[in-house]
Amino acid sequence: MPVAGNWYLSVPSFPGFPGGRRTRASAAVQGDRPTFVCDMIAIMSDSTFDGVIVGAGFAGLYMLHRLRGLGFSARVYEAGSGVGGTWFWNRYPGARCDVESLEYSYSFSEELEREWQWTERYATQPEILRYLNHVADRFDLKRDIQFDTRVTSAIFDESSNRWNIVTDSGGRASAKFCVMATGCLSTSKVPEYPGIDSFQGKTYHTGHWPHEGVDFTGQRVGVIGTGSSAIQTIPNVANQAAHLFVFQRTPNFSVPAHNAPLASDVDKNWKAHRAEYRQRARTAPFGLLFEQNDKSALEVSREERQRQYEERWGYGGLGMMGAFGDLLFNKEANDTAAEFVRSKIRGIVRDPAVAETLVPRDYPLATKRLCVDTGYYATFNRDNVTLVDTRSTPIEEVTAKGLRTSDAEYELDSIVFATGFDAMTGTLCNMDIRGRAGVTLKQKWSEGPRSYLGVMVAGFPNLFIITGPGSPSVMSNMIVSIEQHVDWIAGCLEYLREHGLATIEATVDAEDAWVAHVNEVANATLFPMANSWYMGANVPGKPRVFLPYIGGVGVYRQKCEEVAAKGYEGFALSACGS
Ligand code: N01
């Protein structure tokens, strides 16, 4: 005869699954059959977890570590064959992070930080991937990650308050809560040119680069796109290829990285003051430590402006955005910075006609993602590089031999699509995620994403999105924002457990108010003036909505903390058995 209370059950191991866990289940007695009134487990198996996490990049790994630490059982599903997320897939030549390596790393473990040694100011993709593997091994995370497994659906069962997960290998799992750690830029986008299947050469997308690398020596290569990925790829391909054609639709602003080996005194200083630096990053507008000058670009003399811009150009990196406080709010102020970068492009590129084609004119600086490069503009001084302006001569089709624009055919051995991603919403909407009453996330977001704090969605109880739309995410140092979300989610789950609660769910009112606030803040900036992926403008038919929250990492963190301190204000909480 079963008794009410806590059950402790041991379960066997299955191949590929961690085994022999002891799991607690709360049960009440009804006749001689147990009726489960809370979050725990009706039928014990190793596919039943407290939490399922989708993705094993920076976000998924840290989420798993936190859940483990709190005593929750968790399974991570990862489509790739290894950890790393973005850094697993984006292996194109020259791939590296344009946030400085000391800042683009976890802060949650002082020991981890002290023992890891970055070698360059900006880490390469292989070094970041090594770091993430080190983290996964150091914290013994891989045993709870199922690789080569893509989650195809996550469906909320209202009768049990559980998420049912199905994977592409036919696997099933059940979890009380589900955390989407799927990344903001994980669904790559290839333009739908006619004839694309007829091309007899090789095609690549920067976001899905072959692991064995590609040797372009002696080839005629076409790179389509001039965003961050292309800007890193192009100088490297130009070094190998017999000839490189760059197909540019919209020119981009890029500032030099001035990458170098990480000086030992810089590393030492960082480690000595790490707590202080990390704390500053957590409250900085972008989660980045560059110096933010609060003055208006228009209140200082022309000489002072020039000095600021030269200094930041000379230092390198994203700090150009912090040269003045109004660059992202006032077009006239922004024009001064934009004109500075334009003059730099004209100074680097020898052919004036090529330079003019590379000069961005129709959107303010940094309202499309500011790029950081090593030798990008100078690459166009090479004899083996040709810039093709597809704004004036659009690509019309892919042919067997190459690409045809409105005025010429370019014969190519390889085409590299550096054409970006269906950012922030693509991966989530492509998954069959269903909340209450079977409503899919795709339906719910058909007019653009709606969320409360960018972390939860009304109608989708116990579903968390790490760095989702409506949170600072891509407008910030991703690692700072990931850690903040993971910690907030972990705190929330602890709260639910301590208070005997079964579900948490954003209310429609709170969600509406947050979406209105996100839009209001975005509309106070210059960002809506650009056709950027921040606005969904790079995907035909995607609603034109500013996706991230631009109110600032520090302000956002404070808001999240206040919400939690007020007993999760704006969320509906339901008790076990209710
Ligand atoms: O993608 P993008 P990305 N015909 O969307 C062009 C992060 N990242 O992979 O601007 C012709 O920026 C498109 O043209 P247009 C970073 O956040 C970080 O480069 O739409 N061209 C554009 O030039 C970044 O912002 C690092 O007119 C077409 C390019 O393809 C984000 O990832 C490194 C086209 C796409 O640029 C995405 O960057 C790399 C078409 N049909 C990336 N469709 C770091 O260092 C698209 N394009 C951290």
Q: What is the pLDDT tens value at each position of the chain, 578 positions in all?
A: 222 222 222 222 222 222 223 233 333 322 332 323 333 333 334 699 999 999 999 999 999 999 999 999 999 999 999 999 999 999 999 999 999 999 999 999 999 999 999 999 999 999 999 999 999 999 999 999 999 999 999 999 999 999 999 999 999 999 999 999 999 999 999 999 999 999 999 999 999 999 999 999 999 999 999 999 999 999 999 999 999 999 999 999 999 999 999 999 999 999 999 999 999 999 999 999 999 999 999 999 999 999 999 999 999 999 999 999 999 999 999 999 999 999 999 999 999 999 999 999 999 999 999 999 999 999 999 999 999 999 999 999 999 999 999 999 999 999 999 999 999 999 999 999 999 999 999 999 999 999 999 999 999 999 999 999 999 999 999 999 999 999 999 999 999 999 999 999 999 999 999 999 999 999 999 999 999 999 999 999 999 999 999 999 999 999 999 999 999 999 999 998 66
Record the pTM.
Answer: 0.92
Out of 185, 186, 236, mutate this one to test ligand 1's pocket (max ligand atoms within 8 Å of CB): namely 185
Q: Give which of 448, 480, 453, 447 is closest to 465, Cα–Cα.
A: 453
Give distance in angstroms: CA of 578 to centre of ligand 1.
47
- The atom of ligand 1 lying closest to the CA of 372 is 45
In whole angstroms, what is the distance from residue 26 CA to residue 8 CA? Answer: 9
> Which parts of 185-273 fold into alpha helices (H)?
228-240, 264-272
Which SS3 state, helix, strand or coil, does residue 564 take?
helix
Give distance in angstroms: CA of 348 to centre of ligand 1.
23
Query: How many helices (H) does the chain have, and how many strands (E)?
Result: 15, 23
Give distance in angstroms: CA of 353 to centre of ligand 1.
23
Out of 228, 232, 233, mutate this one to test ligand 1's pocket (max ligand atoms within 8 Å of CB): namely 228
User: Residue 172: which residues within 8 A CB-CB, separation 6 or more?
Assistant: 47, 164, 165, 166
Site residues for ligand 1, CB cut-off 6 Å: 97-98, 185, 191, 206, 224-230, 232, 249-250, 369, 390, 395, 418-421, 474, 533, 538
- Structure token pair of residue 293: 């000058």
Out of 419, 422, 479, 527, mutate this one to test ligand 1's pocket (max ligand atoms within 8 Å of CB): namely 419
Q: Give which of 221, 237, 218 is closest to 94, Cα–Cα.
A: 237
Q: Give which of 439, 371, 401 is closest to 99, Cα–Cα.
A: 371
Give distance in angstroms: CA of 44 to centre of ligand 1.
46
Neighbours of 280 (CB within 10 A): 14
Helix (H) or strand (E) holding 333: helix 331-348
Give distance in angstroms: CA of 185 to centre of ligand 1.
10
Give distance in angstroms: CA of 344 to centre of ligand 1.
22
